Amino acid sequence: MSKINEITIKIVEKWLRKGNMARCLRNVLPYTRLSLRERERIARAMHSIARWKRWYDFLIDYYELERSARTYVELATNKLKVDFEEAEKALPEEKRLAIRYSFSDYISGILEKNFPELIDYLNREPLTTLCVNLNKISREEAMDTLAEEGFKSKPLKLPTAILTEPIARYSSLIKEGKAHVQDEASQLVAKITSSLGRKILDYCAGTGGKTLAMASITRNVAKLYAYDIDKTKLDILKQRASLYKAKVKVIYKLGKTFDVVLVDAPCSGVGVARRNPEAKYIDKKTCEEFAEKQLSILEEASKRVKKDKYLVYSVCTFTPKETTEVVDKFIARFDFELYKIEHEGIKNGFTSLPEGDIFFIAIFKRAK
């Protein structure tokens, strides 16, 4: 058995015990002495196992295979030959889509009813998108750097977005603050937000993905403020902003009001299931819990919006509980009206980009 397979099996064993695939990869891969491309092969295999786990579980039961890490790895790498067509015929009709495409019953029901075009899309292995820091480098220069380092790339629709290989996460562009990894849909949310006013608060800033994107998109013209309940993340954001040469004021205590407040709220993450396949198995109860939290965050963030100005709500999910139902409840309870979004790449409130994740965005305008 190759060293790569041995390590992959070790990580799968850990994941089956503890969950959280990304953490399992972080805890093992950096210490393997493998090349970056070898590590990427392992990461792809792990993504495949998580992506198709419900289908693999069915195959294991149907063919009475050993339920072991090795079996999952052999299924994911096509080393274990099984007859998919025969197994598909044995699928229970009421769960056919959920099992064959590996979604929770809840998510498969939403997809089948509202988003059938996403069923295949969410099971594709994505490439990586970078957000170029236009305050330090042009997109063309960034692509030249990637080419010099041996990475393929191409420009996407947004002027800050480059599609490239996953391994380009290790490019000098990232280390030098000339770009950061960020899906084009996320960049689109930042672009729309930054178009609504000059004084902007990123209310759930985290470590600053959208904050840095807005600094790049506006060429540091916007007055950007970043806040998060997690102060450790804000400390990281401050360091990133310095490296990025981004004009961002990190605030640890709220008091001011703003032209635009962005709430990129915690969510189920099923809209980014191509990158985080574990999100495919989220259940209704969890989404309901997220929705309660999202509405609460919107209520607090709304206090920071000036009269006649804007509150932007975004989540990387498409469940009704976390999107349209949150919007309806917020409008019913608070003195805001829904502001119509007319922007290329947005359809019925959802991002629609050929290479992008699925985000939901709603804009509320505060009454005068």
Per-residue pLDDT reduced to its tens digit, 207-243: 999 999 999 999 999 999 999 999 999 999 999 999 9
2 pLDDT tier (thresholds 50, 70, 90): confident
1 pLDDT tier (thresholds 50, 70, 90): low
> In the prediction, which pLDDT does 171 show?
97
Give CA–CA dist 160/213, Å, rounded: 8
> In the prediction, which pLDDT does 242 show?
97
Give CA–CA dist 188/190, Å, rounded: 5
**Can you give the residue ranges of every domain in the chain?**
3-90, 128-181, 185-366
11 pLDDT tier (thresholds 50, 70, 90): very high
- Could you identify the residue written with the tokens 């490239």? 164
- 185-366, CATH topology level: Rossmann fold (3.40.50)
Torsion of CA 93, 97, 103, 108, to 10 degrees: -100
Question: Quick one: average pLDDT of 271-295?
Answer: 98
Residue 368 clears pLDDT 80, i.e. is over it: no
Question: Quick one: average pLDDT of 350-364?
Answer: 97
Average pLDDT, the chain: 96
φ, ψ at 70 (rounded to 5°): -60, -40
Per-residue pLDDT reduced to its tens digit, 238-264: 999 999 999 999 999 998 999 999 999
149 pLDDT tier (thresholds 50, 70, 90): very high
Which CATH code fits 128-181?
Answer: 3.30.70.1170
Distance from first CA to last CA of the chain, Å, rounded? 69
> In the prediction, which pLDDT does 81 show?
86
Question: Does the pTM of the predicted model rise above 0.85?
Answer: yes
Question: Quick one: average pLDDT of 54-59?
Answer: 98
Nearest alpha carbon to residue 322 among 106, 17, 58, 71 = 106
Per-residue pLDDT reduced to its tens digit, 299-338: 999 999 999 999 999 999 999 999 999 999 999 999 999 9
Handedness of CA 32, 35, 39, 45 (dihedral sign): negative
Give CA–CA dist 97/111, Å, rounded: 9
DSSP secondary structure, 208-243, as one string: -HHHHHHHHHTTT-SEEEE--S-HHHHHHHHHHHHH
φ, ψ at 109 (rounded to 5°): -65, -40
| Residue 117 CB partners (closer than 8 Å, separation 6+) | none
**Parallel, antiparallel or unpaired: strands 199-202 and 258-264:** parallel
Residue 153 clears pLDDT 90, i.e. is over it: yes
Active site residue 316: yes
